[in-house]
Amino acid sequence: MTMEQPLTDLASKRGGGGSLLLRGLLVLSLIIVATLFAAELVLRVIDVSGPIRSELGETFQFDPELGWVGAPNAAAQQTSGNRTISVRHNGLGLRERELGDIAPDRFLFLGDSFTYGYDAEAEERFSDLLQKALPRYGMVNAGVSGYGTDQQFLLMKRLWNDVNPKYVVLTFCVDNDRDDNTSSYRYRKYHKPYFVRTGEDQWQVRGYPLPRPTRDDLTGRAWLERFALARFAIDASRALRNREIIVPDPTEDLIGMMRRTVEARGARLVVGLQRHEPRLEAYLQAQKIPYATFDDAPGYPVAGWHWTPEGNAVVAKKYLALFTEIGIPSDPRQAAGAPPLPAHNDAAGPQLIELGRYLQNWSTAVQDSSHGWLRVGVALLVLTVLAMTTAMLWFGWQRRMTDAAGTPSRFSKALSSFGVFLCLAFATPLLTITLLEATEVRMIEISYGFIAGVVIAAFGRAAALGVFAPDAPQRRLIALDDLTASSFANHLIWGTRALGALLFVLAIHKALAAPAAMSIATNMLFALVTGILLLHLLLSHRYSGENTLPLARWLRGLGWLIVGVIAIALTAGYPTFAAFVAARVISISALLSGLYLLLALGNALFAGRLAVDTPYGQALAADFSVSTPWLGFAAILTFAGICVAAMLAALVLYIGPW
């Protein structure tokens, strides 16, 4: 009796349980709607789950054996960061004339987007230029954007009876074909077959059945397709169910299988290399496979370095010289009247691709695009106004909380720290992504690496300042002195900055086709910097007194073990493994900090605000007409559910193939 009366009085003072419950549900609904709206907006800006048009185009379709192929008889306008071209396929899905219009003595050209002509009109491609120079023969271009050597080999066998070629010309893209041949995934959306060794000189193609592209899951549901959240959820689900598989590089063996197949059918294999590749050239020389290299063929600096019309002319000229060298006869009656290939100064040495020139060409592309700099200016202005408005609201709210609360409670500290984390974690990445999207010129690898680096560095800084709060002891969630908190925060911040810089620099190496030694040196430097940071942290806190918690001692021992592993790996000549360990240490530390912040907020909310011995908890129990023990039990179950959901989300973010 004495317990029920205060609860009844308290409920009546609050205006009735029903109205309070209604207001609470309304507030909760608004929070959910606002969260979903913000997530939808962020995903639309980032465009991580957008359609696949930007990678392959609408003229391609799913194929259960090859992953994707050209759609038969398709026609479209295709736009990249460089130009807009016209694309038309024949009945076989090739960007070529119908086979009935091609001479019977045929060359079959295999390759990826360089052969397909991603940034070239059909008549500008090297295969079409060779058709003009060698009209006696029929040139069949079977290039497919994104294909690796494994898919090209399978496509060749599929097309053989239709084309019946006398020569097969494989154009190898040094930039990414080896990566394609070792992976079951392409463009982070398309699955593909791959080859594995099953015995001595025995290879088997695997990956079947190939999952359909994510886009196909939305076919027929246009209303669902409009939502980026739905596309992202399907992307994440499929990515977890169909993990990327990495196999040892089979490139040389694939070319060997291709050669044996071609020669067994009475034809001859010829290879062209996008640029010099000593390892593959040594194999081709040992196997006496004729080849040419195209280092001096000019390419566009944006959207994959595809050859310009002048670059295609250089490639055609090099192939023509190789054909003459290996004894492929030309038609003497047509040679004199054939239009000459555009001249190019072969005496000029290979061009040195510099990052400064790359960025200069990118800025030129922005300027040449439709109102490029105007869009950048407008985006900067809008983001500046939003940032100022958000900052004013945030500081006003923080001041109001401080004045009202006096000594901050656990809940107010957790909420304040979580607010700092959100502001720092999203402000800089959103600014970067919006500026890159405003230019409408994507540098592919460099843009992706830059955004990934910024996101990682911003997340690490946000997690460090949110959890350790070196400059705001009143909201610090861990009982540490100012010096220790500042040390932990600074080491985490610089560690995530180093990881972000690593991703950015590796992206630059890939985009500029840097030698493998540069990537190895970069990994070695990153592992060394991480090891020094961790060593400095351990030495700075080696004298922490007798009151050190057992968990702290265990973490210190683990830290020394990691330093030892990195040092041994670097000394033994395994810089890539050392960088792998260093990256995992930094990423796990940042992720655990963010997870701790989220769980601290949940604990403060459900274990503090809803505790059965607090007036707020008793009032809420009265509103719902339940006993306080049942309310405490519900709060514990809710908090446990939040913990499990947060841990699963962190696991998905960490192991997912993003």
Question: What is this structure's pTM?
Answer: 0.53
Stretch 156-175: mean pLDDT: 94
Nearest to 271 by CA among 162, 173, 349: 173
Whether residue 114 is found in the same domain as residue 262: yes
Using H for helix, E for strand and C for coil, what is the string for 263-295? Answer: HHCCCEEEEEECCCCHHHHHHHHHCCCCEEECC
Whether residue 329 is found in the same domain as residue 462: no
| Domain presence at residue 229 | no
Tokens 């630059």 appear where? 508
Give the separation between CA 258 and CA 271, rounded to whole angstroms. 11
Give the separation between CA 619 and CA 406, rounded to whole angstroms. 23
Whether residue 410 is found in the same domain as residue 343: no
In the predicted model, is pLDDT for residue 144 greater than 50? yes
Whether residue 536 is found in the same domain as residue 436: yes
| Domain presence at residue 590 | yes
Nearest to 206 by CA among 112, 68, 111, 65: 65
* C-alpha distances in Å from residue 21, one per residue of 24, 288, 620, 625: 5, 81, 9, 11
Q: Mean pLDDT lowest for which of 14-23, 487-496, 627-636?
A: 14-23
In the predicted model, is pLDDT for residue 580 greater than 80? yes
Instruction: Determine the pLDDT at residue 427.
Output: 60
Q: Report cis status (omega within 30 of 0) of the bond before 278.
A: no
Q: Mean pLDDT lowest for which of 18-22, 332-336, 427-431, 580-584?
A: 332-336
| Domain presence at residue 479 | yes
Instruction: Determine the pLDDT at residue 241.
Output: 66
| Domain presence at residue 105 | yes
* C-alpha distances in Å from residue 656, one per residue of 1, 155, 234, 649: 56, 30, 13, 10
What's the domain count of the chain?
Answer: 2
Q: What is the mean pLDDT of the chain?
A: 74
Give whichever of 249-258, 374-383, 534-543 has the largest mean pLDDT: 249-258
Q: Which helix (H) or strand (E) holds 85?
A: strand 84-88
Whether residue 296 is found in the same domain as residue 418: no
pLDDT band at 318 (very low <50, low <70, confident <90, very high): very high
Instruction: Determine the pLDDT at residue 515.
Output: 64
Give the separation between CA 312 and CA 225, rounded to whole angstroms. 39
Say if residue 330 is exposed, middle or buried (CB neighbours under 10 Å; 0-12, 13-18, 19+). Answer: middle
| Domain presence at residue 599 | yes
Whether residue 346 is found in the same domain as residue 410: no
Whether residue 555 is found in the same domain as residue 432: yes
Decide: helix, strand or coil at residue 197.
strand
Decide: helix, strand or coil at residue 368.
helix
Instruction: Determine the pLDDT at residue 131.
Output: 94
Whether residue 290 is found in the same domain as residue 155: yes
In the predicted model, is pLDDT for residue 56 greater than 90? no
CATH no. for residue 163? Answer: 3.40.50.1110
475: domain range? 406-609
In the predicted model, is pLDDT for residue 287 greater than 90? yes
Stretch 601-616: mean pLDDT: 59
Whether residue 460 is found in the same domain as residue 543: yes
| Domain presence at residue 307 | yes
Stretch 91-99: mean pLDDT: 93
pLDDT band at 69 (very low <50, low <70, confident <90, very high): very high
Q: Which of 329, 351, 373 is the last residue of a domain?
A: 351
Nearest to 90 by CA among 111, 71, 112, 76: 71
Instruction: Determine the pLDDT at residue 128.
Output: 95
Model confidence pLDDT, tens digit, residues 218-231: 444 555 567 777 77
Stretch 186-202: mean pLDDT: 81
Report whether 95 contacts 144 (CB < 8 A).
no
Q: Which of 311, 334, 351 is the last residue of a domain?
A: 351
Model confidence pLDDT, tens digit, residues 472-483: 777 777 777 888
Strand-pairing partners, residue 268, are 167
| Domain presence at residue 20 | no
Report whether 395 contacts 454 (CB < 8 A).
no
Given phi > 0 = left and psi -120 to 50 = alpha, else beta, which region is 164?
left
Whether residue 426 is found in the same domain as residue 287: no
Q: Which of 351, 368, 384 is the last residue of a domain?
A: 351
| Domain presence at residue 90 | yes
Whether residue 447 is found in the same domain as residue 343: no
In the predicted model, is pLDDT for residue 348 greater than 60? no
Whether residue 470 is found in the same domain as residue 323: no
User: Which residue type is seen at 594?
Assistant: G
In the predicted model, is pLDDT for residue 83 greater than 60? yes
Report whether 581 contacts 563 (CB < 8 A).
no
pLDDT band at 333 (very low <50, low <70, confident <90, very high): very low
Decide: helix, strand or coil at residue 623.
helix
Instruction: Determine the pLDDT at residue 417.
Output: 63
